[in-house]
């Protein structure tokens, strides 16, 4: 017993030495002692983190059982099925990484494990895909990345807070392997033509046949539900049998599956995360091979991303060379029975932006952003003024461009600017909201935006408490509408990042770690506000709102340490750093403005915390 205690003490001592040695790389420590009365934005930011945590806990109490099962009626399908159930918790891991309570992360993990078990138990009759369960090897047997990606958002962000979790690591590598032909049951990738072979793909491989409406919609059911994908069931209870024909009709034009599609670029999120664990070269190599193949096709196609690549590797190969055809393609304008009109569902950008953004993260090469910019240029070259409004086409078909709308792809323009920091890219963006604030033209924005987020949480909780449904009358997409977690403004203001809900990788200037509690996120009582950014500099105000206790925070440059901090300027002093992170000690009730100078995309991104080194242990 004495020997065991001795070795335990030695082990703890060695861990302490290792921790100290690693964190010492963050030296010098920047001491902030200047008193700063807590600004309104700082108090609101801390309250938003607190309110988020409490609301998430109440949501879990309402919609999860003891096993982590979502309290609803499970069914297979893309309209109200597997991906929607777990998408309910999409931003909880991101919220925890910002500084919300540890219960948020614990509840997400409970929901994830429960979800995988709950939907493994589900079996289908009308489609072979989920005949033996809606998950196989803890992954969708087959699905499209529009839906699969939405369902995996929380998992993609889990590494921000929980990179040492063994289940997370094993899953990320296994899932990435499904697209590297490491699993003989999942031959999704054709290395000769550098394509993912179908828009439907997963742990059982690609769908090379025509899809059926039942593949998309799932089995019929008996019962009464609020059915959000039904014109009659949105605002009242409806017999599922009554809605089912309309749901099948919804997917009547979604049947072509074979060949590659830009949505599959979302799969590179798996390889990026797997690479950021231990920098295994194979994941980066595959990611770049796949994205570069798409870049070559786009260049050959005049700057427009094709929405189908044939099984023979040719552009438009599944449609006689017509690059714009295919499910969710440029010309995809199916009939919507819910709304009794044509619906334009061209999703060219939903995978294009994440894929090329991931390539930027691992290379720092702006050529990937040039491709995105050229795609937008092609759309803006067709610009029209209609009734005094600027419009661009959102679709392309046999007769050329069509469906001119006021959708100017502004979120995509903001992402291009955030990644390039080219002032010419800024010229296309309306000077309002957060962008105007960064440009010094909207000083009231932080407090107003934070107040709006608090209202968002309050309204979600109020609606949740008045939810008229019960588990037997609730489908998978219902609870999503009550998720109270509010992260968008916090990512903007705290991190200098921009997430539209369509990227699922954290592109930002700064992240924070609590060295005392050994976790990601702002420490208790600490608030941060990014007020200005350019290619080299990020200006942030750090505040300790606690008037009796000091706080310590580690600031990392980049969501994944991809930016190399060169030096920090504070109160006229220049402090050399030359690392991806540094430590700040905030005296009680103190605060200061820091100008952080960094070489962007100068380091390989990592999920490792500052005390881990460069790879996750």
Which pLDDT value is given to residue 3? 53
pLDDT in tens, 294-349: 999 999 999 999 999 999 999 999 999 999 999 999 999 999 998 899 999 999 99
Helix axes 445-465, 40-63, angle to 10 degrees: 20
Residues above pLDDT 70, as percent of the chain = 95
CA end-to-end distance (rounded Å), the chain: 29
pLDDT in tens, 33-70: 999 999 999 999 999 999 999 999 999 999 999 999 99
Q: With contact defined as beta carbons under 8 Å apart, do 534 and 595 qualify?
A: no
- Strand stretches in 316-383, DSSP E: 335-336, 341-342
Question: What are the DSSP calls for 578-613, one per residue?
Answer: EESEEEEEE-TTBEEEEEEEEETT-S------GGG-
Per-residue pLDDT averaged across 214-240, rounded?
Answer: 90
Q: What is the mean pLDDT of the chain?
A: 95
**Best CA proximity match to 341, nearest among 296, 403, 269:** 403
pTM: 0.95
Which pLDDT value is given to residue 441? 96
Token readout for 46 is: 């801390």
List Cβ<8 Å contacts ≥24 apart for 247-252: 247/77, 247/79, 247/217, 248/213, 248/214, 248/217, 249/213, 249/335, 249/337, 250/79, 250/217, 250/336, 250/337, 250/338, 251/78, 251/79, 251/213, 251/216, 251/217, 252/213, 252/334, 252/335
User: Among 92-101, 123-132, 223-232, 320-329, whose mean pLDDT is lowest?
Assistant: 223-232
Q: Is 576 exposed, middle or buried (0-12, 13-18, 19+ CB in 10 A)?
A: exposed
pLDDT in tens, 477-507: 999 999 999 999 999 999 999 988 778 899 9
Return the residue matching tokens 């069509």. Answer: 402
CATH topology of domain 2-32+503-612: Immunoglobulin-like (2.60.40)
Which pLDDT value is given to residue 236? 85
- Is the link from the previous residue into 411 a cis peptide, with omega within 30 of 0? no
Q: CA–CA separation, 106 vs 519, rounded Å?
A: 13
User: Among 219-233, 367-381, 450-464, 578-592, whose mean pLDDT is lowest?
Assistant: 219-233
Q: With contact defined as beta carbons under 8 Å apart, do 325 and 333 qualify?
A: no
pLDDT in tens, 16-27: 444 444 444 546
Of how many residues is the chain composed? 617
pLDDT band at 6 (very low <50, low <70, confident <90, very high): very low
pLDDT in tens, 161-207: 999 999 999 999 999 999 999 999 999 999 999 999 999 999 999 99
Q: Is 47 exposed, middle or buried (0-12, 13-18, 19+ CB in 10 A)?
A: middle
For residue 19, the 8-state DSSP code is H
**Best CA proximity match to 318, nearest among 308, 307, 327:** 308
Which pLDDT value is given to residue 229? 86
State how far Cα 461 lies from the chain centre: 23
Q: CA–CA separation, 1 vs 144, rounded Å?
A: 56
Which pLDDT value is given to residue 349? 97
pLDDT in tens, 351-396: 999 999 999 999 999 999 999 999 999 999 999 999 999 999 999 9
pLDDT in tens, 566-593: 999 999 999 999 999 999 999 999 999 9
Neighbours of 10 (CB within 10 A): 10
Phi-psi region of 461 (alpha: psi -120 to 50; beta: other; left: phi over 0): alpha
Q: CA–CA separation, 531 vs 488, rounded Å?
A: 16
Phi, psi of 2, deg, nearest 5? -65, -40
Q: CA–CA separation, 32 vs 568, rounded Å?
A: 13
Q: With contact defined as beta carbons under 8 Å apart, do 274 and 173 qualify?
A: yes
């Amino acid at each position: 017993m004495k020997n065991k205690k001795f070795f335990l003490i030695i082990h703890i001592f060695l861990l302490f030495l290792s921790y100290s040695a690693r964190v010492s790389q963050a030296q010098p420590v920047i001491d902030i002692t200047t008193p700063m009365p807590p600004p309104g934005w700082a108090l609101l930011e801390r309250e938003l983190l607190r309110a988020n945590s409490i609301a998430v806990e109440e949501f879990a109490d309402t919609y999860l059982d003891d096993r982590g099962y979502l309290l609803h009626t499970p069914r297979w399908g893309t309209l109200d099925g597997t991906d929607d159930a777990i998408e309910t918790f999409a931003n909880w891991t991101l919220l925890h990484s910002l500084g919300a309570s540890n219960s948020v992360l614990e509840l997400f993990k409970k929901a994830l494990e429960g979800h995988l078990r709950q939907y493994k138990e589900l079996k289908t009759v009308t489609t072979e895909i989920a005949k033996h369960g809606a998950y196989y090897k803890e992954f969708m047997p087959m699905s499209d990345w529009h839906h699969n990606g939405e369902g995996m958002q929380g998992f993609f962000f889990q590494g921000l807070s929980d990179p040492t979790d063994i289940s997370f690591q094993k899953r990320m590598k296994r899932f990435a392997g499904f697209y590297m032909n490491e699993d003989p049951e999942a031959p999704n990738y054709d290395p000769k033509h550098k394509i993912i072979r179908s828009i439907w793909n997963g742990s059982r491989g690609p769908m090379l046949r025509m899809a059926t409406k039942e593949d998309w919609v799932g089995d019929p059911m008996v019962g009464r539900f609020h059915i959000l994908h039904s014109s009659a069931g949105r605002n009242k209870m409806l017999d599922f049998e009554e809605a089912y024909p309309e749901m099948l009709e919804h997917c009547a034009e979604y049947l072509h599956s074979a060949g590659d599609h830009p949505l599959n670029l979302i799969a590179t999120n798996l390889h990026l995360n797997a690479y950021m664990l231990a920098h295994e070269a194979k994941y980066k190599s595959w990611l770049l091979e796949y994205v570069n193949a798409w870049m070559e096709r786009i260049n050959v196609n005049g700057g427009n991303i094709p929405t189908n690549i044939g099984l023979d590797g040719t552009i438009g190969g599944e449609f006689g060379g017509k690059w714009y055809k295919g499910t969710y393609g440029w010309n995809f304008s199916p009939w919507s029975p819910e709304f009794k009109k044509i619906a334009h569902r061209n999703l060219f950008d939903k995978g294009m932006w994440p894929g090329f953004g991931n390539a930027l993260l691992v290379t720092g090469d702006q050529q990937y952003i040039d491709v995105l910019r050229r795609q937008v240029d092609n759309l803006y070259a067709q610009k029209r003024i209609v009734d005094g409004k600027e419009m661009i086409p959102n679709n392309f078909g046999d007769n050329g461009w069509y469906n001119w709308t006021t959708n100017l792809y502004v979120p995509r323009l903001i992402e291009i600017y955030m990644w390039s920091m080219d002032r010419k890219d800024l010229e296309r963006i309306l000077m309002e909201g957060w962008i105007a604030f960064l440009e010094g033209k909207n000083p009231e924005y932080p407090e107003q935006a934070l107040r709006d987020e608090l209202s968002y949480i309050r309204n979600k909780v109020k609606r949740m408490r008045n939810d008229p449904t019960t588990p037997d009358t609730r489908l998978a997409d219902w609870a999503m509408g009550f998720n109270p977690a509010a992260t968008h403004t916090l990512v903007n203001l705290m991190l200098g990042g921009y997430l539209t809900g369509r990227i699922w990788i954290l592109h930002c200037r700064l992240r924070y770690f609590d060295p005392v509690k050994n976790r990601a996120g702002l420490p208790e009582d600490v608030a941060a506000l990014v007020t200005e950014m350019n290619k080299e500099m990020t200006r942030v105000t750090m505040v300790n709102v606690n008037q009796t206790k000091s706080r310590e925070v580690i600031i990392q440059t980049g969501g994944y340490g991809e930016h190399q901090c060169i030096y920090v300027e504070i109160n006229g002093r220049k402090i050399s750093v030359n690392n991806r992170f540094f430590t700040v000690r905030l005296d009680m009730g103190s605060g200061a403005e820091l100008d952080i100078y960094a070489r962007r995309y100068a380091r390989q991104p990592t999920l490792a915390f500052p005390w881990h080194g460069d790879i996750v242990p």
